[in-house]
Structure 1
Amino acid sequence: MEGSTPGSVIVQDRFQQFDMRRWRVEAECPDDSTVTVQRGGLVMDTSAGMTLWLTQRLAGAYRIAFRRQVLVEGKANDRLSDFNCFWAAHEMNGSGLSVRDGVLESYDSLATWYVGMGGNGNTTTRFRRYDGSVRRPLLGEWLDEGHLLKAGHAYQVVIEVTADGTGFSVDGERVFHQALAGLPAPGYFGFRSVWSRQRITDFSVQAL
């Protein structure tokens, strides 16, 4: 995709079916966790940690966009927490992603950006830059109610990666941003959650 025409659509998924060639599931408790397609939405229903990786490596400048909501309707895994994601993720040696077990700490060895929105039982929203160590340096944090989760709200999320910086926006507000001096290394995008049920729709990646 490097060298793609600006504005061209690189990936688009309206979730009419679950494409196992496009998405890879890593679940901490696979027997109690599922990924299904329901009425044009992808539902992550997990009793513990889960990462859902887009298998296509992304390079150059691009915009990731999707709608996502945390479902709280009295079902077994319903919990208002952990609306998270990784992007531009790669192994420290630059290789593709090794398979992991869905436990959050197993991703410490990656180079990646990470946002945990409504983490820690919906008390924190944090932005981190994983650097291959256990430190997971914190780049930004929100603690106010306006930057935490609301049950059932369909958030419009946009993540941008350019030569000047990378940013994470929610419902039109740029929540986090880090300036860059050049494009980052190619990497992978992943939805992340812990013990919750979430619905994702209208996923796309567009070249910038």
Structure 2
Amino acid sequence: MGLAACATPSSAPLSLTAASVRRRLYADDFRQGLASWLIEREDGLGEVSAADGAMRFDTPRGATAWFRPRLTSPVEISFTVQAVSAGGPNDRVSDLNCFWMATDPRSATDLIARPRSGAFADYDLLRTYYVGLGGNGNTTSRFRRYVGNGERPLLPVHDLGAPEDLIAPNRPYRVRLIAAGERIEYWRDDRRMFALNDPQPYREGWFGLRTTFNHMVVRDFEVRSFAG
């Protein structure tokens, strides 16, 4: 169907009733290419492509794909993501990462208008929520709130490293990101891994998929308006 424009930490699944999820805003099954995405690749290396109903990152360096529409809270962003381990040169199983509600103070009204190099340090000046799932060679999973001046604070409760917090090779995970006013959450399958009550929330911005030296496959991307 391609891109469509449509009308406290816990292990319990988030209740998404008909009243709470109002309508689907966007969906992308990646069968119409990547026109809805801005691709940034470090040193121009590696490949980010769309085929067989998936977006595929196969890269020896950093790469980010930004969804072009600007999103406004309250919103839920969801997608299925998998780290491929099949003997390829980039099959490292690491860094199933994402930004959401991101803005760039250097181009405050349009993050897409100021492309970055793809190198991770080039994102330090964003104002955004960020999860690095299976970072540092699949030894950590971390949630950060970037503040827009190069600082990326990390709370101890948001610095995880147990085996259940990391990535299993070739396993697809359903990720859901919530930005609903002060309520900021990251869900993987039926587990809420990260939660933040943000008194100064980022209420609008862009979503980006991110990895480095990895072979990552993304499917079934959706954005829904959200209340509650």
State whether TM-score is above 0.5: yes
Letter in 1 for 2:83: V
- Aligned to 1:84, what secondary structure does the other structure show? strand
Q: CA deviation at 1:19?
A: 2.8
SS in 1 for 2:121: helix
Counterpart contact for 1:60–1:183, Cα < 8 Å: no
Q: Are the aligned partners of 1:61 and 1:183 in contact in 2 as well (CA < 8 Å)?
A: no
Report the Cα distance in structure 1 between the residues aligned to 2:149 and 2:199, rounded to whole angstroms.
22
3-state SS of 2:149 partner:
coil
Q: Indicate the residue corresponding to 2:105 in structure 1.
A: 92
- 2:206 maps to which of 188, 204, 207: 188
Equivalences for 1:37-116 in 2 at 5 Å?
37-92=50-105, 94-97=108-111, 98-116=114-132
Contact 1:45–1:197 (8 Å) recurs in 2: yes
- Identify the match of residue 156 of structure 1 among 174, 184, 208: 174
1:11 maps to amino acid:
Y
Cα shift at 1:101:
0.2
CA positional deviation for 1:134:
2.6
Shift of 1:182: 6.7
Q: Indicate the RMSD between aligned Cα atoms, in angstroms.
A: 1.6
The Cα offsets for residues 49-90 of structure 1, whole Å up to 9 and x where unpaired, read as 001000100012010011000001011111111110000000
Q: Unmatched 5+ residue regions in structure 1?
A: none
Aligned residues: 203
Distance 1:128 1:183, change over 3 A: closer
State the partner residue of 1:15: 30
Would the aligned equivalents of 1:125 and 1:147 in 2 still touch at CA under 8 Å? yes
Q: Distance in 1 between matches of 2:168 and 2:220?
A: 20
Match of 2:139 among 118, 123, 129: 123
Question: Which runs of at least 4 in structure 1 moved beyond 2 Å after TM superposition?
Answer: 92-95, 180-185
**Alpha-carbon distance in structure 1 between the residues aligned to 2:147 and 2:200:** 17
CA contact (8 A) 2:34 2:49 kept: no
Q: Secondary structure at the match of 1:15?
A: coil
**TM-fit CA distance, 1:96:** 1.5
**TM-score w.r.t. structure 2 length?**
0.85
For 1:134, the equivalent position in structure 2 comes to 150
Q: Which aligned pairs between 1:158-177 and structure 2 lie closer than 5 A?
A: 158-177=176-195
Distance 2:121 2:57 in 1: 20
Aligned pair in 2 of structure 1 residues 166, 61: CA closer, same or farther (>3 Å)? same
Q: Does the 8 Å contact 1:29/1:47 carry over to 2? A: no
Equivalent of residue 28 in structure 1, options 42, 55, 69? 42
Could you tell me how far 1:39 is from its partner in structure 2?
1.6
